[in-house]
Structure 1
Amino acid sequence: MRKPCIGVYAHVSSLDDSFGGVEVFTTRLVSQLAKLGHPVVLHALASTLGTAVHGAREPSPGRDGVTVFHPRSGPGFDGCVRENAEVSLRHDEQIIFALGIRDPHVYQVALETGRRLGRPVVSFVYNSLNERLFRAQLANRTNYLLGVASEEERTEFLAATHDSLRRTLRASDLVVVPTDYMRGEAAGVLGDTLAAHTLVNFHGVPTGEFTLVPRPEYRGTLLHLSRMMYPQALSKNFLWSCRLIDRLHQRDGAVERLTLVGAGRDDHVVRDYAGRLGAAGAVDFAGAVPQHDLPRVYAQSDVLLCPSMMESSCQSLLEALLTGCVPVVLDFGGSAEVMRRLGLKDLLVSPVEAQEGPFTTVVPRIEHAVEIITMVRQEWDRVTRLVARAAATAAEELSLERTTDELLGEVRRRGLLGAGGSR
């Protein structure tokens, strides 16, 4: 029996988009749905206008048999909805999955299309209150220039993002969040509406792409990886990682080196900061690393630093863990929940509020982080055994294959997808 077609409305530019965590998860989920036998149409709502103007605007076959549609995004919002609705109707999409970012455009288009066509919409939500509170401290002066926000601008930003998120949550037939931490936030945003339509389903990783690599001894190779380095935001805490390596090198006999992986505007901010600390000699700047090359990067590293307060879930944490890389994680947000679930609470670093330039953020307590790195260094055999057990648990419980099956099963149980919705 032919399985129902699934439309995926997403903040991606193509099936190869790996610019950020949302993009990586989207492309993984789309490929997994297709492997399960579902016809899938990817509506690439972050693709540039040039894609539609100079290339074929009609949907075209993509990798893994997924059909990809690059819209013109207009004219007007009605035009955005109309062109996507035409494709959804033509391909007989029975359900729409919406995977967006803080900007509500993807959700708005998906929800209005679903309303017009009478199709259920499942919205995947990742934007935590921590992210919104931090981002409220910045203001767009132009499309390319960020500045420090006034109190009035902060209030306006928080009210607007809260309102748009609330509308998305209320209008969706099902809301999918990666952690209980995020489900609690969704319930708080809804306020006067019970959040019974909110499902916790962790965004799994394809375990077959990552293999456990034995590390007989501690080499002191630390890794800080973000798919999008954005120093103006400072929220990924790259500057904190530079301070940590500097503090470690103030100890006698420190062996640690730090590799920073990521690329974006104003990368020189981090380079200059490391130089001013005097830590530049212990920091390697790897730039952007293609998705297919990440297993090698993880295998060359002993410790993955996850100091960002932004994480509602952390795919890089699991990717690194599956290779045997030791995650040292800020005890804040959804990634801390995942660490506890995997029995790795001893590798969580307590948080503290800090100022990074004009911005307030949350960072790991650096002395606690030094204690944990020292413990990892001195108890390497015990720690690697602990990590291997956690990796086995993650491979069993949090694989892309298992989490996708669980997602489709719940969608069917709620009557949003036909009986052909899973294996």
Structure 2
Amino acid sequence: RNFTADQFSGVAQDEIEDARPWCEILRQWATFHPEFAFLPRKFKIAICGSKRDRAAVAFHDIGLEIIKDAQGETAFKVFVGGGLGRTPVIGALIHDCLPKEHVMSYLDAILRVYNQLGRRDNKYKARIKILVKAMGAEAFKQKVEEEWAHIKDGPMTLTQEAIDHAFTFFQPPAYEAIDAAAAQSALDDQRLTDPRFAAWLSHNVVAHKQPGYAIVNVSLKETGFAPGDITAEQMEAVAELSEQYGFGELRSTHEQNLVLPDIRKTDLFAVWQKLDALRLATPVIGTLNDMICCPGGDYCALANAKSIPVAEAIQRRFDDLDYLYDLGEIELNISGCMNACGHHHIGHIGILGVDKKGQEFYQVSLGGSQSNDAAIGKILGPSFAQDEVPEVISKLLETYVANRTEEERFLDTYRRIGIEPFKERVYA
């Protein structure tokens, strides 16, 4: 698997350091690496360079969080053994401040320990999360430290020259010098001209670290279409927008949307109009209807149940934008089987398709999180038939609204009151 990072890397306002050069350094290290060639299963590595974790580092085989040490130098928190699927596990923190020059050798030591001690007799057990869980995080860390001691200051030690070279591949584009105050003032005036544009600005546009610019989320969540789907014609049109209004760059997100990372604030109204005409401006980013959904039984031979019809039924049930906005931030994730391609374990609300004697049913979980406060959801109770799911979601939301305080998100309320009030309402 390739290395992944925050979709806003290099442009995020809360960025500590751009994660992309580090992805490239480690990609070069991993390519044709004998230890990688010997791995029994897929192996996923994510790097987060921002204050808010948008790369889900705690749920990867190895997750790296960029931090600054006491001297202000780049360093890494290292998480190992995270993952979803049949055995959902939150990664263990085994190093809280790894110096940047040792990142390759330390990851090499992790791979060596895994290849030496990991299971290969059962493909379902041939993941590093199984080894870390079986050994315990401290014992695994000790083995890694012992292995690392032999290679720590060897050829894999990064020089500043090598690091600087990687950063040359990710230089900022040729931003214009924009009067940020004037651009914002004009944008505020435009916001008043159309409430639909104002809603899109509030939910689909993210602050950029370059004055006068913004990050645009291209929403692939229009009701009636599979979440994350985009036609060839729409994709070509978005590519043209990236060239006309940006620097020809287009990014994908694991929330199943697209990102135009460098849009001038003065161009946001024009970009919105064109995205709206393409039906790619649904202003639901971060809401219940910005759901993650796997292809499910409609397309996947592994699935136990369909996912897309469930997603559409929920979208149609909660199509009132004012209600969605009042609910605030809610992450809803849907998977059609235990392989968890829809990340249902880490949704604030998770839905899992299960098979019951040849019938499709859906298990609901609550309290998951993919961010800095990583958590795996807890199963609500017995599963539901497909046509019951929208009503179940409605009852969960009613419980949240009845119990929340003014500042609380769904996840905050759940953590404060626990699962029982939700369970009582749903199964009453």
Could you state the TM-score of these two structures normalised by the residue count of structure 2?
A: 0.27
Could you state the TM-score of these two structures normalised by the residue count of structure 1?
A: 0.28
The structure with more helix, counted as a fraction of residues? 1
